[in-house]
Structure 1
Amino acid sequence: MTVLESSPAAREPGIHPSAEVHPSAIIAPGAVIAAHCRIGPFSIIGADVTLGQGVAIDGHVVIDGHVEIGEGVRISPGASVGLPPQDLKYKGEPTRVVVGARTLIREHATIHRGSVGGHGVTTVGADCLIMVNAHIGHDCTLDHHVILANNVMLGGHVQIADTVFVGGGAALHQFVRIGRQSVIGGMSGVEADVIPFGAVLGNRARLTGLNLIGLKRRGFSRAEIHQLRAVYRALFRSAGNLQERVQHVAREHGDHPAVQEILAFIRGDSKRGLCRARRVAPLEEDEGEAQG
């Protein structure tokens, strides 16, 4: 679960003297506006909203419901945060949205509050980038350094781990889990869980290999990447059922932390099952993995 960096410890309603609020903005009584915040024209801030220090909100933004925005967050015109979930069972309960420090929410992105049927909170971690028109449904959990490109759609209860990139126009089914440092190709329809470090593409999406570019950027050595590719082949392109393949990988490679993470993810609680590898001809195997 995401641990946010600067969730306010207590609410002290009011607007800090150093905050800059455009005369046309509407700030409901009860809102907390911390030092050095900036609120642009025609934006609306609800009574149960807390803005951390240095939050910058452009014009025509709506933030309503029980919402906590971390320090240094920037929100672009037309975005909305904290509106009710698109869930017919929702009856106005005081569920929440929490956004971590320094996250950037671009134009017309939408983040809905949690639901009683879920865990009651929608969470976006620190240092995330939510691009134009992206939608984060109720009860989603995004960890830190997540990037959602334009027009990404997250159904309710989606879990996304650290440093994941989701390409433009991708749609993630409700309850899907996305493992750390994986990449989702643009226009993909993801119906099942994606392993850490995986790369998926297609409608409906299938694993195409590992996120090799991401592994190199984050300092994995050539030997480590070679080992992870061997693990990928053993898990998704070898004989036997998945349980047998997992046991084999645990015996042969289980001492490596990244392999342990992949195996723990596969063994974890899943409501959607595991995204499997696409079928490739033998001569295409190495080339297919390099596409991540």
Structure 2
Amino acid sequence: MIHNTAIIDAGAELAGDVQVGPYSIIGPDVKIASGTVIGPHVVIQGPTTIGRDNRIFQFASIGEACQDKKYNGEPTALEIGDNNVIREHVTIHRGTIQDNGLTRIGDNNLLMVGVHVAHDCMIGNNNIFANTTGIAGHVHIGDGVILGGMTGVHQFCRIGSYAMTAGCSLVLKDIPAYVMVGGNPAAARSMNFEGMRRRGWSPEVVSQLRKAYKIVYRQGQTLEQALAQLDALAGGAELQVFIDSLRASERGITR
């Protein structure tokens, strides 16, 4: 299960069925749960905790110290959940004490070739980040988000659940839930209505979110005015996700 050329520090804790490929290096304070497969030439530094049934491909660098110049070797951490696929040349850095000292990635995410997740990012579940996407420090991303290839996300941005970016997008402000953006800088284009239908959401829910989008993006209102109008709608949980993502914005939303 562990290739004889792999180097495993005595301070690492690996479940008995974890597989480690040739020439991979696993440092101290690394914990890896059952079913995870580490390919060849992978480097994992700690403190890092990796959950069950993940697949990490060759040349990935996981849990390395961050590139923030304020970082001075403080003990910070990385947490990765279950069932993630981390492809070739992905880099994921630990947190900084200027934030919560933690970078976290949830479950069932696909990080394609060359994705970078910087320090202190908080990533949810069921996301897809396409090739060479770069996510700067302190970014928060919800669930079910799709980032097109070569997307760049500015530090401290928030991307709401089920949002989507076109390839080569430059994200400088927050993206509300469900919203599709594209361009440099990124601008809002629509909501991911086709994705909603594929998830089996009812026509009533889709119609209500379409109306909510128009309130925010088509009526020339300030965000505060739009939120007051959205609060007056009789909406369900899906609409509330949209409203909450608008209220959580600190950088201003992508228009």
Band of TM-score, shorter chain: over 0.9
Q: Would you say the 8 A contact 1:254–1:260 is kept in 2? A: no
Q: Would you say the 8 A contact 2:121–2:140 is kept in 1? A: yes
Looking at structure 1, the residues matched to 107 and 48 of structure 2 have their Cα atoms a distance apart, in angstroms, of 15
Per-residue CA deviations over 1:115-151 (Å, capped at 9, x if unaligned) read 1111111111111001000000000011011111100
One-letter amino acid of the structure 1 residue matched with residue 242 of structure 2: I
Alignment partner of 1:199: what SS?
strand
Instruction: Provide runs of 4+ in structure 1 moved above 4 Å.
Output: none
- Distance 1:229-1:79 versus aligned 2 partners, 3 A rule: same
Looking at structure 1, the residues matched to 221 and 253 of structure 2 have their Cα atoms a distance apart, in angstroms, of 16
Looking at structure 1, the residues matched to 6 and 88 of structure 2 have their Cα atoms a distance apart, in angstroms, of 18
Query: What residue is the counterpart of 1:25 in the other structure?
Result: 6
Question: Which blocks of at least 5 consecutive residues in structure 1 are unaligned?
Answer: 1-19, 277-292
Query: Match for 2:29 among 33, 44, 48?
Result: 48
Comparing 213-222 with 82-91, greater Cα deviation is found at 213-222
Shift of 1:193: 0.7
One-letter amino acid of the structure 2 residue matched with residue 162 of structure 1: D
Query: Match for 2:246 among 266, 271, 275?
Result: 266
Q: Does 1:236 align with 2:228?
A: no
Question: Which blocks of at least 5 consecutive residues in structure 2 are unaligned?
Answer: none
Query: What residue is the counterpart of 1:207 in the other structure?
Result: 188
Query: What residue is the counterpart of 1:164 in the other structure?
Result: 145
Comparing 236-245 with 36-45, greater Cα deviation is found at 236-245
Comparing 108-117 with 255-264, greater Cα deviation is found at 255-264
Shift of 1:220: 1.1
Alignment partner of 2:62: what SS?
strand
Alignment partner of 1:21: what SS?
coil
Shift of 1:240: 3.4
Q: Would you say the 8 A contact 2:60–2:90 is kept in 1? A: yes
Query: Match for 2:227 among 223, 246, 249?
Result: 246
Alignment partner of 2:225: what SS?
helix
Query: What residue is the counterpart of 1:281 in the other structure?
Result: none
Query: Match for 1:72 among 36, 43, 53?
Result: 53
One-letter amino acid of the structure 1 residue matched with residue 49 of structure 2: E
Looking at structure 2, the residues matched to 264 and 147 of structure 1 have their Cα atoms a distance apart, in angstroms, of 22
**Aligned positions, number:** 255
Query: Match for 1:257 among 237, 243, 246?
Result: 237
> Quick one: percent identity of the two aligned structures?
39
Q: Would you say the 8 A contact 1:103–1:127 is kept in 2? A: yes
Q: Would you say the 8 A contact 2:78–2:103 is kept in 1? A: yes
Q: Does 1:127 align with 2:111?
A: no
One-letter amino acid of the structure 1 residue matched with residue 253 of structure 2: L
| Structure exhibiting the larger radius of gyration computed from Cα positions | 1
Shift of 1:95: 0.5
Q: Does 1:155 align with 2:136?
A: yes
Per-residue CA deviations over 1:158-179 (Å, capped at 9, x if unaligned) read 1110110101000000010000
Query: What residue is the counterpart of 1:275 in the other structure?
Result: 254
Looking at structure 2, the residues matched to 108 and 48 of structure 1 have their Cα atoms a distance apart, in angstroms, of 22
